[in-house]
A and B are shown apart, each in its own frame.
Chain A
Amino acid sequence: MRRTLYIYSVLLSVLFFCLMTFVFMNNIFHFFTPKEISLYENRYLARKPFWNLGCADPYPRAFENFYNDHFPYRINLNDFNAGVINYRILHKSPYPNKVAFGKDNWMFFEIERPLYQGDFMIDRNQVIDVVAKLHQRAEYFRKRGIKFYFISPPCKQELYPEFLPSRFYRCPGGTATDKIIARLKQDTSIPYIDIKQPLLDAKKRGLPVYYKTDTHWNSWGAYFGYLEVMKQMNKDFPSLKPLAESDFTISYPVIKGKNLVEVMNLTNYISDEDVIISVKNSKTRTGKLHNYPKHPGSNFPGEYVRYTGDTTRPKLMVISDSFVYGIMPFFDEGTNRTVYIYDTGTYGVNENIVDDVKPDMVLMIIYEPHLVNLIGIPN
């Protein structure tokens, strides 16, 4: 029996060493070389750091990041872990620090949780600073005779709290967003349009306004946001008429899960329902781009230009984050020309573009959790 046990000891040692060496050999022979970019993670892979004796302390961390990112079959193994082990077998979020699984297949962005719960808080001076930044923007456009409108789409936790995981809570005393919005409403020089109630009203009608698997609103949500903005715009520009529901054809195709599913790379496992609202007899055409510089650090197109050619209507410029994509088709139809500037994180007045476009009105869209970006707090 001693001999048998010896043989198994050798076998275990060899197998263990082979397993370790398989990965180790890859570092020498590079039989597996990952791409520079991880598409589902939306990022570059870490690069091999340079050794610098004068600044040696960060080297180990940087090298480890590089090593981890280039671990053979990392993405495939992570997919297997996320899809099969976590999602299929354990029925849980593979990345609970990124995505929280709610009720009835609703998903929520975990990073927004402290803001929603009220654990993330800003002080009174910071609230004043945020509103002051918006005030500056409103003043800038007012001085140039440009009508300015501002909306802040709420995060979906606010609209669908019934689908949140039970463990989510609200701290007494409100959230940082509540404080900013309350202060914003006191500053009458900022033409803030509250779109939360119209979205809740639409939800009461049984219409989905946000995706189950995305942080963004769907076309219905965007439409009701648009309607509320149009009510105000119409007062300043009577020629603007909002599109009615009868102007659309609507379909609800089943699609692959959206951004919250994409960050987990579970698009092969989880689907969602889309809302496609197509404007009947659309007159909109894509205009020539001005090729304004892209926002630093962003790969998104900095600009979209759409026009109808109807010169009796005003020109609109929209400065926004990703919430612009849902709302674009509606504004496209009603204006002479619309220029959309993707400026998430900064939400600047984009002076050069304003001087170039000479809009009659400017709409600024800042996703509620991004409001604190205005004073340099990353969301």
Chain B
Amino acid sequence: MLFNSLIFIYLFLPLSLLVYYLADGRYKNLILLLSGFIFFAWGGISYSFLLIASTLINYAAGLLMAGTADKRKRKIILVSGILLNLFPLILFKYTGFFTDTLSVITSVFGVKPLTVAQFILPLGISFYSFKAITYLMSVHRDECPAEKNYIDLALFISIFPQVIAGPIDRYRNLAPQLKSRNYSFEMMASGIRRFALGLGKKVLIANTLGMAADEIFARSSANLSLPVAWLGALTYTLQIYYDFSGYTDMAIGLGRMFGFTFIENFNFPYQSKTVKEFWQRWHMSLSNWLRDYLYLPLAYSTSRKLKAYSYFGIRADYIIYIVATAVTFIVCGFWHGAAWTFIIWGMLHGLFLIIEQLGLRKFLKHRIALLQHAYLLFFIVVSWVVFRSSSLDSAVHYIGIMFGLGTAPARMDIVLEFLNPGFIAAFVIAVAGSTSLFQNLLTLSVRSRDLKTKAVRALSVHFFEISIILSILFVLAISTLFILAGTNNSFIYFQF
């Protein structure tokens, strides 16, 4: 089930909220857990057994770890637990990629290509597997006690707002909230506001931009010209941000409706000046996860092996940084998808992080802010092309066209055809909204209340709150209309 579907907004959500708030406090977690299973099962009932198995395995692993003080045993349980979490992820997500790659290699030696059953990727497996690992790590590091209540742990792993696309929350953040939560109308209203914001970002902006991006990226390189290629790349850059951050906003909003406070996942990433800063603002729950559970342990273990000050004239701390960053970003790319485009995308980010560390960041620091932003945006736009392309070959061609290596004539009429009023509105709002402009205006408007007389202040509060409510209802109504349009399934010829 998707948040931006009619069945979720108008059936699942009201029903879940109703039952949740009518139920006694003791049963709220159970109700939310069952809601999570139903929500997840909507993407494939058979796969929900996978989620249930994951909750049972992690519950048992946590208790086993807590039951022994033997460090070696605890480590064995931790590693086994992590492997058991990663096994279905590798099986369902990466089997096809590995066998395809192996087939390419073995075909050189005349070996027949391998054929394996094609699996359908269970929804959210990359997210809930990583979340489950945070629990095991927290217990292993004694950050939190092992959860004795199965319902609470299962809820942590499968809580429906987070189960499909994160944020990849930490157990230590959610553990106290699993025990007790505060409910208030302010919290509910704040959740509704955030949910509506996310819905609008996804349905009205990302989907509108996505139609143009999809069409442009589907064009063969022979029919793609420089301006159209740039339009596609810029549009996709905005689409992916609004799509993902919109989904996260909806998740955070839904969490608040049920009394939870989830971690934030985005903080205006396109305002960054360096790739390093970008990863401090983009998909923060993933980058923090990778930092804590991959990068730092890797850097630590590498540093223990490197005893000398430098190797081949390179300082050991640089080598540690290079090794840890390279591995982390290859894994990061691979986590996003089982294809070489994702791996290369991850490697590009890793490479630029290393280059920045080796001196580029220092160089940029002394340049004007505009240049720093331009550098980051240029890199991000190009790297998204690799991410979005169907193959490395098409990514190379696409980027080549962006830099004038295409053969198609640069016809502006094709560009203008994409620029219908709806697209222009979505694009302009998307550009403005990817900066902190709207947030600053909002803060300014709230602060300016203090400068006014009591009567004017009261009036401005009423005006502001009514505007917000009307905007939310408007966004919900228009988003519903746009989602409904997707249910149109008309045929030229009769189908009855």
Contacts and interface: CB of A to CB of B under 8 A. Distances in A.
Interface string A39-79: 01111100000000000110110011001110100100110
A90 B421 contact: yes
Contact of B7 (A64, A86, A165): A64
Interface stretch (A93-101, A182-190, A302-310, A312-320): A93-101
B93 to A, nearest CB: 19
Nearest to A13: B188
B45 A60 contact: yes
Contact of A167 (B414, B458, B465, B478): B414
B247 interface: no
A9 interface: yes
Interface stretch (A18-26, A137-145, A226-234): A18-26
A250 interface: no
A16 interface: yes
Interface in B154-179: none
A4 interface: yes
Interface string B12-23: 011101000000
A85 B421 contact: no
A81 B189 contact: no
For B1, B468, B490, the residue with the greatest tally of chain A CB atoms inside 10 Å of its CB is B490
A166 B494 contact: no
Contact of B485 (A9, A16, A95, A322): A95
B490 A20 contact: no
Contacts of B490: 38, 40-43, 95, 98, 263-265
Nearest to A215: B492
A71 B493 contact: no
A59 B496 contact: no
Nearest to B211: A96
A17 B17 contact: yes
B488 A71 contact: no
B465 A90 contact: no
Contacts of A78: 481, 484-485, 487-488
B413 interface: yes
A64 B1 CA distance: 9
Given A15-B473, A20-B13, A41-B490, A68 B7 contact: yes
Interface stretch (B80-88, B140-148, B214-222, B314-322): B214-222
B70 interface: no
A82 interface: yes
A89 B484 contact: no
A269 interface: no
B473 A8 contact: no
A278 B15 CA distance: 61
A67 B219 contact: no
A196 interface: no
A68 B184 CA distance: 32
A117 B484 CA distance: 30
Contacts of B181: none
Given A4-B458, A9-B189, A68-B487, A91 B417 contact: no
Interface in B457-482: 457-458, 461-462, 465-466, 468-469, 472-473, 476, 478, 480-482
Contact of A77 (B42, B413, B472, B481): B481
A288 to B, nearest CB: 25
A43 B489 contact: yes
A6 B185 contact: yes
B260 interface: no
Contact of A67 (B11, B41, B481, B494): B11
Contacts of B11: 23-24, 27, 67
B491 interface: yes
Contacts, number: 175
A171 interface: yes
**How many B residues touch the partner, as a band?**
35 or more
A13 B188 CA distance: 7
A259 B46 CA distance: 42
Among B11, B215, B417, B473, max chain A CB count under 10 A is at B11
A344 B10 CA distance: 40
Interface residues on A, range: 35 or more
Nearest to B190: A9
A80 interface: yes
B344 interface: no
Nearest to A66: B7
B488 A41 contact: yes
Select the residue from A38, A167, A169 with max chain B CB neighbours within 10 A.
A167
A42 to B, nearest CB: 4
Contacts of A171: 220, 222-223
B348 to A, nearest CB: 29
A24 to B, nearest CB: 5
A16 B472 contact: yes
B487 A5 contact: no
Given A74-B487, A78-B488, A171-B222, A12 B481 contact: no
Contacts of B488: 41, 78, 82, 95
A34 to B, nearest CB: 12
B186 interface: yes
B175 to A, nearest CB: 27
Contact of A81 (B10, B485, B494): B485
A296 B222 CA distance: 42
A27 B10 CA distance: 10
A10 B190 CA distance: 11
Given A21-B14, A81-B485, A82-B485, A12 B6 contact: no
A355 B193 CA distance: 71
Contacts of B457: 1
B45 A57 contact: yes
Contacts of A135: none
Contacts of B493: 42, 298, 322, 344
Contacts of A109: 492
A89 B482 CA distance: 14
Contacts of A57: 44-46
A256 interface: no
A166 B485 contact: no
Contacts of B468: 8, 12
A10 B462 CA distance: 14
A299 interface: yes
A344 B466 CA distance: 57
B461 A4 contact: yes
B447 to A, nearest CB: 14
B186 A298 contact: no
Contacts of B462: 4
Contacts of B223: 169, 171
A259 B492 contact: yes
A82 B487 CA distance: 12
21 contacts: A8-B189, A9-B185, A12-B192, A16-B192, A17-B17, A20-B10, A20-B14, A42-B490, A67-B6, A67-B7, A74-B484, A78-B481, A78-B487, A81-B484, A90-B421, A91-B421, A95-B490, A119-B220, A166-B411, A215-B492, A263-B492
A-B pairs with lowest CB-CB distance, top 4: A9-B189, A41-B490, A23-B10, A8-B465
Given A78-B485, A91-B421, A92-B421, 15 more contacts: A8-B189, A9-B185, A10-B189, A11-B469, A13-B188, A20-B13, A24-B14, A64-B5, A77-B481, A167-B418, A169-B219, A259-B492, A263-B491, A265-B490, A322-B493
